Amino acid sequence: MATSTSSNQAEGKMGNHEPTPLEKHVMFFDINNDGIIYPSETYQGFRKMGRGIFRSMFAAVLIHITLSHKTRPGKCPSLLFPIVVENIKYAIHGSDSGAYDSEGRFVPDKFEEIFKKHANQNADSLTYNEVKELLKANSEPKDYYGRANAFVDWKSLYDLGNKDGILTKETVKAVYDGSLFDQKAEEHASK
């Protein structure tokens, strides 16, 4: 059985600790497995999943401009905009589902709550309108940064993972446990 990229990386540069689900979520983009993700690696990751050149470039720039400084606490800003995988927990934003706790661990109850509260047409999937409802319900007052990030996260997930206009519970779980990006890259490679 082939080992996924994220699994190999989990054994790589993470030191002596077991990577959290949030760390596994971003490890797909650590192409050279050094624990630091640069914009070029994020671009390559999006391309591996079949995203277009412009969308991949835009995503890499946006992600690194917004997250780099948060994952490098106490360090001077870097014009290379690196994201430090083991510090990704510092980039958790407000106005989201809470399915990751403040340490980047998966919170099953919060994950289930997404579908209990917002999956109205089918208990195991979300339509685009239900995703919008989720975003509105989780929106914290005056948290413009968190709301913008939550919107981009969920819109990107919906664009990447929807099948026939719905986002399945299985797909949402795969993004939280870090396996969705590997799945999408394998699907794209097999085409």
- Band of pLDDT at residue 17, cut at 50, 70 and 90: confident
- State the greatest distance between any 2 C-alpha atoms of the chain, in Å, as a whole number: 48
List the one residue out of 59, 98, 95, 89 whose CA is nearest residue 71. 89
Return the pLDDT at 14: 53
Torsion of the alpha carbons at 97, 142, 71 and 105, rounded to the nearest 10: -20
pLDDT tens-digit readout, 31-90: 999 999 999 999 999 999 999 999 999 999 999 999 999 999 888 889 999 999 999 999
pTM higher than 0.85 = yes
Provide the terminal-to-terminal Cα distance of the chain, rounded to the nearest Å: 20
Give tens-digit pLDDT for 113-156. Answer: 999 999 999 999 999 999 999 999 999 999 999 999 999 999 99
Q: Identify the three-state secondary structure at position 125.
A: strand
Distance CA 18, CA 10 (A): 7
Model confidence at 162: pLDDT above 80: yes
What backbone torsions phi and psi does residue 162 show, to the nearest 5 degrees? -75, 145
**Beta partners for residue 127, in sequence order:** 166
